[in-house]
Structure 1
Amino acid sequence: MKKTQTLSELWKEKAKQNSRTIVLPEAYFSKRVLDAGLLASTQKIAKIILLTDNDEFISSNNIVENEYLKVVNIKTHEIREMLSSALYEKRKEKGISKEDADALIQNSVYFGTMMVDLGLADGLVAGAEIATAETFKPAFQIIKGKTKDTKISSFFVMTRDDETYILSDCGVNINPTAEEIVEIAKLSAESARVIGGLENPKVALLSYSTLGSAEGDDAVKMRTAKELLKTQNVDFVFDGEMQLDSAIVPSVAKLKAPNSPIQGDANVLIFPNLSAGNIGYKIMQRFGGFSAVGPIAQGMRKPINDVSRGASVQDIVEAIAITVLQCE
């Protein structure tokens, strides 16, 4: 990344090279999402599919479809029946009936998620008008993890001037086990490279204890996660358990963890539970003046991302670009 180039600019520049298709299920009831979709398509950040439930949507919004912009009516489009049948086949063992599947596919998020599942779109962005649970519930049921053992988690990209940190998990897992912390750390290191622009992730497993200075469930959990990571052939630097100052302040690291490979230069911060992670990112944002982008899902078979209900048009465009970069 060029020193004068922001992360947002980097995301958009890289996304333009990928030519991926992103579906926006809230386009017909959120002007912000509609405007973001139009902007992303105009700038060729992604090929955009706008979902709607009415035939007047195109004319009332003066939309001109082209290679980078398509509109799909979830009530009348020819793929509707195919998506409903595919959803039934996918969920029938969970007790869903054909009637249930047909009812669910009338929901634009389920419709869009099935488009992603069947390869009709590469990713989905929602959340500007609906709750996070409404965005992720279809994804957890349909898309699921990259493997059956993958622990889906989330991360935030925190930036201030030339500082960038990846924080995880701040939005999904309430109290992950040591084994799950390992998976979250590995996914976060990869996200640091792909999304954070950090070529050399340095992962700190955070706690209220530094390298055995205190005991307790969370300290032991993070200590155990470090030992488990040692048995795996990972390609990033890590250490733990560590207090935050030991992880990011070199002078403190010299006193508390002089032999740590991180040396107070951590850029990926892994929290022991959701309370710590969620509070941590908000303290950085509100008291520290950091910009927060996220929560961004990681570990899904195909990318589904949630934006804040306070997200601006530019925030949604950034989420679209990030989703493109997560496509494989």
Structure 2
Amino acid sequence: MSRFINNLKRRVAKEQKKIVLPESESRRVLQAAERVQAEGFARPILIGRPQSIVEVASEYQIDMDGIEIIDPETYPMMDKFCEYYAKRRAKKGMTLEEARKVLSENYIFFAACLVAFDIADGMVAGAVATSSEVIRAALQVIGPHPGLSTVSSSFIMITDKPQFGDDGIFVVGDCSVVIEPTPQQLADIAVSCVERARRTAQMLDPKVALLSYSTMGSGAGEEVDRVREAVRLLRDRNVDFEFDGEMQADAALVPRIARQKAPGSTVAGQANVLVFPNLVSGNICYKVLEHLAGATALGPLLQGLAKPVMDLSRGCTPEDITDVIAICCSDAIYMQAEKKRDIAFTSRFEKLDRRVAVENRNISIQFDPEKCKNCTLCRRRCADVMSMTGYYSLESTGDVPICVHCGQCSLTCMFGATTTVSQRDAIQKAIDDPKKIVIFQTAPAVRVALGDEFGLPFGSVVQGKMIAALRALGGDYVFDTNFGADLTIMEEASELLYRMHNKKELLPQFTSCCPSWVEFTEIFFPELIPHLSTAKSPISMLSPMIKTYFAKRMKIDPADIVTVCVTPCTSKKAEIARPERNAAGRYWKKPEIRDTDYCITTRELAKWIKDAQIDFNSLKDSDYDPIFGQSSGGGTIFGNSGGVMEAALRTLVYLQTGKPADEEFLHFEEVRGLEGVKEAALTLDNDIIRVVAISGLANARRFINLMEEKHSWKKYAFIEVMACPGGCIGGGGQPRTKLPQEIPAKRARIESLYGLDALKQIRASWENPEIQTLYTKFLGEPLSDLSESLLHTQYINKHYMLGKEDKVQPGVSH
């Protein structure tokens, strides 16, 4: 290691970086400062009362000549530091006096301010303080690195095996900070480890292996799923290094084994950066390498912060501290050079003042520039109605568009430039395969919009003909997503009732059945994730029921079932592809089984019917298949803005009181209609319950910002959000209408769904006999362990996607 560190010291010496050492009354820290000053590769700064520091130095005969000492009590910048720190912590209620107390008493926080204000180039601490205290100070004062939300650590492992890694050198992480990393955190750790490899280990070609006990699908389990999702997230980030996974360590390191286990991988057998699935495996591995294989471990080295901060082991020696100071200098040089690069940003997307930026890898929509007329309709819809374009910076995201897959751009495009990504060929292949059982499910809003494509009046109910068409196209079964809506209500209303009685801090509860709204929350408002209902959407509930309960009853191998959802919504294409949407696969211990295999929109179905030369208007009506064919009026109105709210309240009344809902809840006028934000209050068992129904993401953004500004969240119990104006009836996959006809078409669809609701004998989800049978014979009860496993989900903080500029506003320079 001495050669490695000596080379590093020579590289950094000419820059003479200032490194602040806040634990200045520690003998080891003072001895390290003396060594640094003597070797001349950096300029140490000590923090504290000069008299106390000199006394310790004198006691141990430490030469302090030429070493700068800063006393926080007399430092002229102290007032500015206090104002800065108080402002950063204002949302936590910190006052100026409290900020001054922290900075005066805890020198690590004061030292972090020196780094934040570029007075010092980096900070090294932890010889006395705990790692958590060092990290907390760094995050609160300096913050995370732009584009990352995870502070982690890495080790540089130096071995005597030049045939492996980068001439025997590896960067490994995380081994000391993040215990059970999420997929997002694993992706962040990979990015940070690559930065460490480049800036400290001088690796020119980092190759990242995300490790697991499985190689490319050879094994299964939650840990494997996390690693696979991390790999997918790295692909989405468009990173500038090679990576692959999941893979076992032998496949990552040994070319012979790599050829057998991971043929075609550009990383396997050549990896020099190893990302462990959790801290346990990482910590054990680096210590085994160190003590059994004779490797030298340099670290742990903090990473993922906006400026250089290094943590020390509390058992460190003066030599260890000196080495870490050298690494801190290297980080400072690298990060400052990165900041100084003044390269004009030019996006690969053209005419963004008139178009929406659509990534080639977008799973829901696609763009053909040759057909674009630059009419600005897509851009205006994305910016003004959905508050997406203009609310992020392509320069900050690395030229990766932020998209929640709502498809409103494709709905407004009349020239065929922006269209949905079709999976029709794959569905047809499944239909043509005699071994496959193809099962369609249809969302409520499709039946009142499909007729538009066949010359029928807006809002025509074509449920029977739609089912008949799907059978004619080759579907073996057709189920009603309205059943899934009833199932969603049973779980979501039960969850709401539980929060009202036991977890009021998680109120208000937000609906979660709109995938675009969920993505919007994950990206722009991740602090609201705990308030999202964990209940899946109707489609994502019905599909695992098909591949578990239905498959069992019908004695069908679930691997032979192909589920296809027909939706008004382009974002369902993204939802069904989320890696956690394999609950049925986990149930059967076959993780490759997806819950929903394919998705087609209303427009796509209409085109398929026409291409198959089916005379739609002449079809005889057909009925849904039993088991999942019966639904309540509450399930039907899911397609309208306010419909989820109304349906949930009908069942909530029963769950709370044991009595059916009265007329007030069967026609809840206050949350009906096209208005963007609809508030209402109702009384339930002498409690006033305040609710809100919102449609259009721009309306949601304004509402959230207003609530945060006024700190008035707690007065609400339940908030429904639908991304598309009017709800699913106005989804991005619905038939296109000319602008003057858009509102009349939506109103007709809304009235038709409420009309279907009024005709139903069963109005509330809990009354659905097929739902009752499902719980009796299979699930047990709402929120049971099996229900949680199959019908509930989790969400991911995706705020990192916005990059450094995460508070962009239209028309505001950034």
Does TM, normalized by the shorter one, top 0.5? yes
The alignment-based identity, stated in percent, is 36
- The code of the aligned residue for 1:50 comes to L
Matched, 1:204 2:209: yes
- Return closer, same or farther for 1:140/1:311 CA change in 2, 3 Å cut-off: same
- Return closer, same or farther for 1:263/1:138 CA change in 2, 3 Å cut-off: closer
Match of 1:289 among 282, 285, 294: 294
- The code of the aligned residue for 2:43 comes to K
Are the aligned partners of 2:57 and 2:64 in contact in 1 as well (CA < 8 Å)? Answer: no
- The code of the aligned residue for 1:7 comes to F
Q: Residue 138 of structure 1 aligns with which residue?
A: 137
**Where in structure 2 are the equivalents of 1:226-245 lying within 5 Å?**
226-245=231-250
- SS across alignment from 2:89: helix
Higher deviation after alignment, 315-324 or 139-148: 139-148
Match of 1:75 among 61, 73, 76: 73
Match of 1:166 among 167, 171, 189: 171
Question: Aligned-pair distance for 1:264?
Answer: 1.4
- SS across alignment from 1:61: helix
Deviation per residue, 1:197-218 (Å, 9 max, x gap): 2221111010000110011111
Deviation per residue, 1:121-154 (Å, 9 max, x gap): 1110011122111211111111111226442221
Higher deviation after alignment, 147-156 or 18-27: 147-156
Counterparts of 1:55 and 1:233, CA distance in 2: 53
- Return closer, same or farther for 1:78/1:230 CA change in 2, 3 Å cut-off: closer
Q: Residue 34 of structure 1 aligns with which residue?
A: 30
Higher deviation after alignment, 112-121 or 258-267: 258-267
Higher relative contact order (CA 8 A, sep 6+): 1
Counterparts of 1:316 and 1:295, CA distance in 2: 12
Are the aligned partners of 1:55 and 1:73 in contact in 2 as well (CA < 8 Å)? Answer: no
Question: Aligned-pair distance for 1:101?
Answer: 1.5
CA RMSD of aligned residues (A): 2.1
Bigger helix fraction? 2
- The code of the aligned residue for 1:171 comes to S
Q: Residue 57 of structure 1 aligns with which residue?
A: 53
Question: Aligned-pair distance for 1:180?
Answer: 2.7
Matched, 1:11 2:8: yes
Higher deviation after alignment, 146-155 or 14-23: 146-155
TM-score (normalizing by structure 2):
0.38
Report runs of 4+ in structure 1 exceeding 4 Å deviation.
62-65
- Uncovered stretches (5+) of structure 1, i.e. residues with no partner: none
Are the aligned partners of 2:86 and 2:95 in contact in 1 as well (CA < 8 Å)? Answer: yes
Higher deviation after alignment, 18-27 or 249-258: 249-258
- Return closer, same or farther for 1:271/1:286 CA change in 2, 3 Å cut-off: same
- Return closer, same or farther for 1:98/1:247 CA change in 2, 3 Å cut-off: same
Deviation per residue, 1:205-235 (Å, 9 max, x gap): 1000011001111112212322333344333
Q: Residue 256 of structure 1 aligns with which residue?
A: 261
- The code of the aligned residue for 2:326 comes to A
Are the aligned partners of 2:34 and 2:64 in contact in 1 as well (CA < 8 Å)? Answer: no
Matched, 1:20 2:22: no
TM-score (normalizing by structure 1):
0.90
Question: Aligned-pair distance for 1:58?
Answer: 3.2
Deviation per residue, 1:263-320 (Å, 9 max, x gap): 4121100011222222222222232222211121112111111011121212111111
Deviation per residue, 1:74-99 (Å, 9 max, x gap): 33433334433332233233111233
Counterparts of 1:64 and 1:31, CA distance in 2: 12
Q: Residue 112 of structure 1 aligns with which residue?
A: 111
Question: Aligned-pair distance for 1:192?
Answer: 0.7
Counterparts of 1:235 and 1:77, CA distance in 2: 43
- SS across alignment from 1:265: coil
Question: Aligned-pair distance for 1:176?
Answer: 2.3
Match of 2:90 among 92, 98, 102: 92
- The code of the aligned residue for 2:228 comes to R
Counterparts of 2:301 and 2:159, CA distance in 1: 18
- The code of the aligned residue for 2:93 comes to G
Q: Residue 129 of structure 1 aligns with which residue?
A: 128
How many correspondences in the alignment? 322
- SS across alignment from 1:41: helix
- The code of the aligned residue for 1:285 comes to E
Higher deviation after alignment, 87-96 or 104-113: 87-96
Counterparts of 2:127 and 2:52, CA distance in 1: 22
Question: Aligned-pair distance for 1:55?
Answer: 2.0
- SS across alignment from 1:238: strand
Are the aligned partners of 1:166 and 1:267 in contact in 2 as well (CA < 8 Å)? Answer: yes
Deviation per residue, 1:134-175 (Å, 9 max, x gap): 211111111111226442221111112352111111222222
- SS across alignment from 2:51: coil
Question: Aligned-pair distance for 1:5?
Answer: 7.9
Bigger strand fraction? 1
Question: Aligned-pair distance for 1:116?
Answer: 1.1
